[in-house]
Structures are given as structure tokens and as C-alpha cells.
């Protein structure tokens, strides 16, 4: 079989990121300061984040934001990434649909996360910051930021969700290889961590808790900033290099996607692949294109969450974000797609979902591993458990086409590879993995108090 792969040249690495908010008729409601309850200004954000990231976070008017040369130079290590037609998978499914995937797994750390890590580390360095902190779930974000921090000469402390710290020791080793300090969260090194351990000594951690710890350390350390790998607007912005490249590559393929799919944790890789295509829906040129976020059934914020102001973290240190959320105290089951275990959806995505520009589906853990195994056997790449949610959703779409006979063009983002997640695959093959059901009562418990927050 002749593989169709669409490659760009270095000069095609985008010169600017795309800021989707500039094109939204209904802008997301403002981020709210947790104590004053007033809309956030750049000055409120910049003690915590770099000034450049703070400005980007609140920029609702500029459509294109220039990518600094130093960042593009780093992107050259692995960008542009390939766009591949998944002909092996199409053949196996016997579908009339055409399936394409953008392969972000080719980055040195194996995921899309490096696109924003480099940008954020660069801005910190440029502003004279010496230390940065962050949280990581499955370890992909921590790995990406460790590489970026080392490149720009910054010291990095990473709070890693305890369950992943123990389940994914190799990601910890990757961060240490790049020179970062890795701390299992909840830890005794912060007030937020100590409180959680005291209340619940066997707590396996969550992204929300790890964020609280990283924010606390950043706020109490001189010349230290906090860096976030998902959820926020500026992170989504940096990830748009994915979709901007994919747009050119789909043109080379002579097709335009009918459906764009990505897995959904806090929304960064979904935003990255979707927003550049979504701009043609927002301006009315391509009203029919569908955008599908694939989230885990065990953490269904877009499909079953409430639209409310909520904190980005467990302890309530972050700004209040208007978003679809399961509540900042929601503790998702210990699925292997650690990067998707986050309670909320981010302001832009949530507004787009509310206005019906995007859809969401929820996928059970066993279905993701079935899809992942099939994909590996057909296309040769072992996907990350997170990315497998997108693959499962793409397969569903392709199978629907088989029934209707429609020749749809499906594009999904392969956000990362799974070569460091083989423990999860082992457990799948040993029939040791289960699906998880979230009951309406579970969701009611952690969402009922949200109204009182604001």
C-alpha cells in the first residue's frame, strides 16, 4: 500500500499564532479575581505568569500574534509535523471515509505539549525570571517543560500527580534527565498539599491539587513564575501551530475536513488542531465543518458538566474561569489517560460549546484501548492513552459513514505516542482495566456549591 504523507518545509512553520477569540461573536466571559471578584487585568495575572503570557491571556482583539524567532528556532527541532492519511485503518474498517491524522507524537518528548512549553519558557527567560514551577498529570507536560526550561537556562520544579508519579516512573526519569526537580503531589512541601494529606492520607492526587501546590510555590519564591500546560487561553493560542500546518497539508491532499477531532483534557491539543479550521466556520465560509472533543467517560466535563464560574485548581488559588466543569473538587477515577483527568474545559472552548460551534463525546476506557491497539496494528504508531480517545471517536465517525455511504473527510490530532505508557497496555492485555461510570449524584456533589463561589 502506498502511504500518503503530507510534509511541509521549515519555512512553512507558522510565523504567527491564531487568536480565535478575536473572531468570536460571543467572547468568553472574563476571568474573575478570586478575592476581589472583579474581572482580571494583566497586572493581576503577571505576578503569577510571565507578562507576555498574561497579555496574551487577555488579548481579545488581535487575530495573529507573532511567534518569536527564538521559539520558531526551537520548533525546527521537530516541526512541521507530518499529516498522514490513515489508509491502513480505512482499509481495515472498510469505510468510504477518508481519515487523516496530524502526528504531534514526533516531538522529542512525544507529545504536542512542547509547542506551548517552549513559548512560555522563552517569555519567562526574556523577562528575567530564574525559576519556574508547574504541575503535570501523566508527565507529558512536565517532560516538555523540562526540555524547554533547560534550553532557556531556567530552574524548574514539577509537581507530579501521585498516581502518575508511581504508575509512570519513566516520565519522571525523562524530566530528571532534562534536569528538572520532580515532586510527588500532594506533598508536604506546601500548605495546600499538607492540608489535603491531613484530610485524606491515601489521596492519589489530581491535577487540581498539583496546580495548587505549584502556584503556592511560585507565589512564595522570589523571581519565580508559574507555567500551565493547558486550559488557559494563551496555551490554546500557542498550540494553533498544529492546525495552521494541518490546514496547508489538507490543501496539499486536496481535501477539507468535514469533522475535526481531538481528545480533550483541558483543551490545548483540541484548540490547537480545531481553531485554525474553526475560523472558517466563525466567518461563515465553512459552516458545515464539525468539531468533536473526545473526553473520558470518567471525567465528562463537556458532555455532563455544568457551565459555571469555577477555580482551575483544587485549593481555589487560580482565577475563576467561566467553563463547563465537574467542580474543582471532582476526583476522577484513576484511568490511564492521566492527561485527561481534569475537571474543567477552559473559557474559550466552553463558550464555543455553549454556542454549538463544537460538540463533545465521552468514551469508555476499554474502547480507547481497543481503538489504540487497532490503530497501532494498522498504522504502526502506538498512541498515548489520551490520544486514543480521539482515535476511538474518529473510528466511530468512520463506521457511521460505512452505514450511510458518506465519503466524509475526518481529521484527528494524534497528540502523542504511548511508548512510555506500556504499563497501561500491559494491564489492558491482562484484562485488568475497567470502565468507570460517573453517576449524576457524583456530579451533583461537586457542582452544587459552585454557585456560591461567585
Instruction: Give yes or no for residue 384 binding ligand PLP (CB under 6 A).
Output: yes
Q: Which is nearer to ligand PLP, 139 or 197 (CB)?
A: 139
Among 192, 299, 340, 348, binds ligand PLP (CB under 6 A): 340
Instruction: Give yes or no for residue 17 binding ligand PLP (CB under 6 A).
Output: no
The whole-angstrom separation of Cα 101 and Cα 443 is 33
Instruction: Give yes or no for residue 447 binding ligand PLP (CB under 6 A).
Output: no
Instruction: Give yes or no for residue 416 binding ligand PLP (CB under 6 A).
Output: yes
The whole-angstrom separation of Cα 395 and Cα 391 is 6
Q: Which is nearer to ligand PLP, 53 or 224 (CB)?
A: 53
Beta carbon of residue 103, minimum distance to ligand PLP (angstroms, whole number): 12
Instruction: Give yes or no for residue 269 binding ligand PLP (CB under 6 A).
Output: yes
| Parallel, antiparallel or unpaired: strands 5-6 and 224-226 | unpaired
Write out the binding residues for ligand PLP, residues 175-214 only, by CB under 6 A: none
Among 19, 120, 133, 140, binds ligand PLP (CB under 6 A): 140
Q: Which is nearer to ligand PLP, 95 or 230 (CB)?
A: 230
Q: Which is nearer to ligand PLP, 213 or 386 (CB)?
A: 386
**# residues near ligand PLP by CB under 6 A:** 20
Beta carbon of residue 99, minimum distance to ligand PLP (angstroms, whole number): 18
Instruction: Give yes or no for residue 265 binding ligand PLP (CB under 6 A).
Output: yes
Cell 475560523 belongs to residue: 279
Among 54, 115, 164, 268, binds ligand PLP (CB under 6 A): 268
Among 164, 206, 230, 351, binds ligand PLP (CB under 6 A): 230
Task: State the burial class of residue 82 (Cβ atoms within 10 Å of its Cβ: 0-12, 13-18, 19+).
Answer: middle
Instruction: Give yes or no for residue 267 binding ligand PLP (CB under 6 A).
Output: yes
Instruction: Give yes or no for residue 263 binding ligand PLP (CB under 6 A).
Output: yes
How many other C-beta atoms lie within 10 A of the C-beta of residue 200? Answer: 11
Instruction: Give yes or no for residue 264 binding ligand PLP (CB under 6 A).
Output: yes
Q: Which is nearer to ligand PLP, 269 or 446 (CB)?
A: 269
* Interacting span for ligand PLP (CB under 6 A) from 42-50, 73-81, 178-186, 259-267: 259-267
The whole-angstrom separation of Cα 74 and Cα 427 is 36
Instruction: Using CB under 6 A, list all residues that contact ligand PLP.
Output: 111, 113, 140-141, 230, 263-270, 339-340, 384, 386-387, 415-416
Amino acid at each position: 500500500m502506498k502511504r500518503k504523507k503530507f510534509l511541509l518545509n521549515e519555512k512553512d512553520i507558522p510565523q504567527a499564532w491564531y487568536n480565535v477569540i478575536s473572531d468570536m461573536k460571543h467572547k468568553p466571559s472574563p476571568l474573575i479575581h478570586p478575592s476581589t471578584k472583579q474581572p482580571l487585568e494583566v497586572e493581576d495575572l503577571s505576578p503569577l505568569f510571565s507578562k507576555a503570557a498574561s497579555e496574551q491571556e487577555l488579548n481579545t482583539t488581535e487575530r495573529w500574534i507573532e511567534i518569536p524567532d527564538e521559539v520558531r528556532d526551537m520548533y525546527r527541532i521537530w516541526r512541521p509535523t507530518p499529516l498522514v492519511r490513515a489508509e491502513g485503518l480505512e482499509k481495515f474498517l472498510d469505510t468510504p471515509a477518508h481519515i487523516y491524522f496530524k502526528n504531534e507524537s514526533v516531538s522529542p518528548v512525544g507529545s504536542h505539549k512542547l509547542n506551548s512549553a517552549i513559548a512560555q519558557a522563552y517569555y519567562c527567560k526574556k523577562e528575567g525570571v530564574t525559576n519556574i514551577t508547574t504541575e503535570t498529570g501523566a508527565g507529558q507536560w512536565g517532560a516538555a517543560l523540562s526540555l524547554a526550561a533547560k534550553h532557556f537556562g531556567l530552574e524548574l520544579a514539577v509537581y507530579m500527580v501521585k498516581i502518575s508519579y508511581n504508575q509512570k516512573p519513566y516520565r519522571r526519569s525523562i524530566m530528571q534527565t532534562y534536569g528538572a526537580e520532580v515532586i510527588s503531589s500532594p506533598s508536604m512541601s506546601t500548605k495546600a498539599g499538607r492540608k489535603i494529606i491531613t484530610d485524606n492520607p491515601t489521596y492519589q492526587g489530581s491535577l487540581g491539587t498539583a496546580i495548587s501546590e505549584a502556584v503556592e510555590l511560585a507565589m512564595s519564591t522570589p523571581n519565580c513564575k508559574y507555567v500551565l500546560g493547558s486550559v488557559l487561553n494563551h496555551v490554546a493560542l500557542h498550540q494553533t501551530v498544529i492546525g495552521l500546518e494541518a490546514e496547508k497539508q489538507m490543501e496539499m491532499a486536496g481535501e477539507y475536513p468535514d469533522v475535526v477531532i481531538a481528545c480533550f483534557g483541558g483543551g490545548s491539543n483540541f484548540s490547537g488542531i480545531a481553531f485554525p479550521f474553526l475560523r472558517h466556520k466563525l466567518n461563515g465560509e465553512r459552516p458545515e465543518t464539525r468539531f468533536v472533543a473526545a473526553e473520558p467517560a470518567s471525567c465528562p466535563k463537556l458532555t455532563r458538566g455544568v457551565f459555571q464560574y469555577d477555580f482551575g485548581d483544587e485549593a481555589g488559588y487560580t482565577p475563576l474561569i467561566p467553563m463547563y466543569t465537574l467542580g474543582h473538587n471532582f476526583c476522577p477515577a484513576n484511568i490511564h489517560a492521566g492527561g485527561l483527568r481534569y475537571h474543567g474545559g477552559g473559557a474559550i472552548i466552553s463558550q464555543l460549546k455553549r454556542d454549538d460551534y463544537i460538540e463533545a463525546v465521552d468514551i469508555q476506557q476499554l474502547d480507547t484501548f481497543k481503538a489504540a491497539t487497532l490503530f497501532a496494528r494498522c498504522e504502526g504508531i502506538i498512541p498515548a492513552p489520551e490520544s486514543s480517545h480521539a482515535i476511538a471517536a474518529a473510528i466511530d465517525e468512520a463506521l457511521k459513514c460505512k452505514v450511510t455511504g458518506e465519503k466524509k473527510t475526518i481529521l484527528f490530532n494524534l497528540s502523542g505516542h504511548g511508548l512510555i505508557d506500556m504499563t497501561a497496555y500491559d494491564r489492558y492485555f491482562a484484562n485488568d482495566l475497567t470502565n468507570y461510570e460517573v453517576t449524576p449524584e457524583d456530579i451533583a456533589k461537586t457542582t452544587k456549591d459552585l454557585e456560591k463561589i461567585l
